[in-house]
């Protein structure tokens, strides 16, 4: 899991990346390739 300021670039890394909001935090998750996980802030 990476913590970054901007998720826009991470979303473009892979086709299966999805941006999801949980508990006020924004995450990028990827079911097929979990190493693309990231969190904003």
pLDDT of the residue at 19? 93
**Structural domain span for residue 19:** 2-40
From the number of C-beta atoms within 10 Å of its C-beta (0-12, 13-18, 19+), residue 39 rates as: middle
> Looking at residues 7-13, what average pLDDT do you find?
88
pLDDT of the residue at 20? 93
> Is the separation of the CB atoms in 18 and 29 below 8 Å?
yes
pLDDT of residue 28 exceeding 90, the answer is yes
Q: Give the predicted TM-score (pTM) of the model.
A: 0.77
> Looking at residues 3-29, what average pLDDT do you find?
91
Per the structure, the count of domains in the chain is 1
């Amino acid at each position: 899991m990476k913590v970054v300021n901007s998720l826009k670039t991470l979303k473009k890394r892979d086709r299966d990346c999805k941006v999801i909001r949980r508990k006020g935090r924004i995450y990028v998750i990827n079911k097929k390739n979990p190493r693309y996980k990231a969190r904003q802030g």
